[in-house]
Amino acid sequence: MSLMHASSPHTHAATSTGRIMGWVLLATLPGILVATFHFGWGILVNVLFAAVTGVILEAGVLRLRQRPLGMTLRDNSALVTGVLLGVSLPPFAPWWLIVVGMVAAIVVAKHLFGGLGQNPFNPAMVGYALLLIAFPVDMTQWAAPLGLFGPDAIAPGEALRHFLGLSAPTDAMTGATPLDAFKHKGETLLASEFWAADPLPPGTLDAWHDVALAWLAGGVLLLVKRIITWHIPASLLGSLTLLASVLYAIDPSHFETPLFHLLSGAAIFGAFFIATDPVSAATSRRGKLWYGAGIGLLIMVIRPTGAYPDAVAFAVLLMNFAVPFIDYYTQPRTYGHAQANRGIKVRQLDDDEELP
């Protein structure tokens, strides 16, 4: 009788997770490259530094918890968190801002809850939300679309100086995002009057649209490889489009078109790369539809009424709170078990009565 030789199931789990995270990293490349092309080398610097910082913090916490390093680091989850947070930050973000965000994401949002698979909130969005609330000035200095190689482009060395805090960006280098500019246009100014005044640097809208479409291309790759399912992206973008259409139909002079809300912010990025986090998202198919729809509705509620123009991070975190409730009421019925609302009557047997 021969003995069965098998490696540890934890090793297989780490390998499988690492492969999935590897596809997620590959899917982020179109968005990162297009964002770097339009907004400069600072995007790439942020992503690389945040990814390295995430791996270092992950290794340090694992050492403190006396957990094996190799197996856990091979799951690439810290690397993905760093990339997602890094690409969300303005290109002129200083190095210490990224460190603070990664500490909040890896140490607080992930390991204080037990590590990968036990965190109830999306780690990257926890770090981003903390930075947005604590350091609003640094988080709103978004770069103007100066490109990489044009006459006004920022050289890599200059981008590195901004990153190290050795110099500050000038007004010509920075500009508001389309969502931020529209949000602060004032109540008396009509939408048509606002856009007629050319409030944004030339090419800003086109740059944001290109980046959104690049994230869409990466999201399609994740769908094709079955890393994610269509339920969350479709319900999120669908509910956002529906509410944006209703608001625009009611008052087009003060609300923007659904296409503007889809392409001018982080809606597509959030739909495919943030909301689909398998740990903090809903698990059942019906639950994913409710979860994604809730995020889309919250985005369109917070954008016109809240203090922050984009609202994707806050919408995701709020729906992370609701995931246990959603999962409880949307789990599919176990095969062979009748549902409680089917009207089945149950009669208690008497002491001298046998089962039929």
- On the question of pLDDT at 133 being above 90, the answer is yes
Q: Looking at the structure, do residues 161 and 227 belong to the same domain, yes or no?
A: no
pLDDT band at residue 253 using 50, 70 and 90 as cut-offs: confident
Domain of residue 272, residue span: 177-332
Q: Looking at the structure, do residues 201 and 278 belong to the same domain, yes or no?
A: yes
Query: Which pLDDT does position 191 carry in this prediction?
Result: 79
Q: Is residue 317 part of a domain?
A: yes
User: End of a domain among 140, 155, 176?
Assistant: 176
pLDDT tens profile 273-288: 999 999 999 999 999 9
CB 95 within 8 Å of CB 164 = yes
Rounded to the nearest integer, the mean pLDDT of the chain is 86
Q: Looking at the structure, do residues 211 and 307 belong to the same domain, yes or no?
A: yes
Query: Which two structure tokens, joined as six digits, stand for 137?
Result: 């000035």
Q: Phi, psi at residue 143, to the nearest 5°?
A: -80, 145
Query: Which two structure tokens, joined as six digits, stand for 279?
Result: 């740990």
* Bridge partner list, 174: 143
Q: Is residue 314 part of a domain?
A: yes
CA 351 to chain centre: 59
pLDDT band at residue 159 using 50, 70 and 90 as cut-offs: confident
More confident residue, 28 or 252: 28
Query: Which pLDDT does position 351 carry in this prediction?
Result: 52
- On the question of pLDDT at 266 being above 80, the answer is yes
Q: Quick one: which of 196, 271, 284 has its CA closest to 239?
A: 271
* Total number of residues shown for the chain: 356
Query: Which pLDDT does position 23 carry in this prediction?
Result: 95
Query: Which two structure tokens, joined as six digits, stand for 56?
Result: 């270092």
DSSP state of 273: I
DSSP state of 137: H
Q: Phi, psi at residue 121, to the nearest 5°?
A: -120, 150
Query: Which two structure tokens, joined as six digits, stand for 12?
Result: 């297989």
CA distances to 13, 22, 74, 110, 268 from 19, rounded to whole Å, are: 10, 5, 9, 20, 23
Q: What is the reported pTM?
A: 0.86
Q: Looking at the structure, do residues 158 and 54 belong to the same domain, yes or no?
A: yes
Q: Looking at the structure, do residues 132 and 191 belong to the same domain, yes or no?
A: no
Radius of gyration over alpha carbons of the chain, in Å? 23
* Alpha-carbon span 222 to 122, nearest angstrom: 18
CB 221 within 8 Å of CB 271 = no
Query: Which pLDDT does position 2 carry in this prediction?
Result: 37
Query: Which pLDDT does position 254 carry in this prediction?
Result: 84
Task: State which amino acid sits at residue 129.
Answer: A
